[in-house]
Amino acid sequence: MKKILLSFALLTSLYGSSQILSEGFEGETFPPTGWTTETQVATRIWRPTTDYSATTQATFNITGAKSAIIAWIVDPNEANLISPTFSLDGYADATFSFNAKIGYEYMVAPNANGDLNVQISDNGLDWTTLWVEEDQGPYEDYETLAISLDLADYV
C-alpha cells in the first residue's frame, strides 16, 4: 500500500471520488491530531491565527474562526506543516485543493526571498515539490488563493 504525506500550508482538502482528508484547523488542538510541524527557528512556528492579534486574524483567516499561519522573517527558516499519512490505493484519480493567503511583497516581489511549497512523499524521506507560490503568477497581497493540484501520478 502506497502511503502519502503532504507538506503544505493553510486550509486543505484532498479528494478523489470521495473526500479522504479535510482540515480547516478549527479545532482546539494545534496542530490537529495526526499533523506534525517542524521548524528551524523556534520563534517562527506554525500556529493557529488565534495566537495573533485581531488584525492579523482578520487578514489571514481563510474560513471560520482560525487558520494555520506562520509568520515570515528575513532570516532563513524551513518550517513544515505535514499532513497525516493516507493512501490513494483504489482511486482512479485524486486532487489536492487548498487555500492560501500570502504576502506577495515578502515572497515573490523583487528582492523577496520566501518560498511556500507543497510537497508530496511516499516514504516521508524523499519529497517532490508539486507547487511553489511563484507558480501562481502575480497576485494581490493576502488575497485568498484557491489552488488545486492533480495527484493522478500518485494513485
pTM across the whole model? 0.81
- Residue 74: helix, strand or coil by DSSP? coil
**Residues 121-150 pLDDT 10s:** 888 889 999 998 888 888 888 888 899 999
**Residues 74-89 pLDDT 10s:** 777 888 999 998 888 8
Please list, in sequence order, all residues whose beta carbon lies within 8 angstroms of the beta carbon of residue 116, skipping any fewer than 6 positions away.
9, 100, 102, 107, 132, 133
The Cα–Cα gap between 135 and 1 comes to 31
Residue 147 falls in which region: left (phi positive, over 0), alpha (psi -120 to 50) or beta: beta
- The DSSP bridge partners found for residue 68 are 48
Length of the chain: 155
Of 96, 155, 149, which is closest to residue 122 (Cα–Cα)?
Answer: 155
- Residue 57: helix, strand or coil by DSSP? helix
Count CB-CB contacts under 10 A for residue 126. Answer: 9
Count CB-CB contacts under 10 A for residue 113. Answer: 10
* 80 grid coordinates: 513544515
The Cα–Cα gap between 32 and 26 comes to 9
Confidence of residue 35 (pLDDT cuts 50, 70, 90): very high
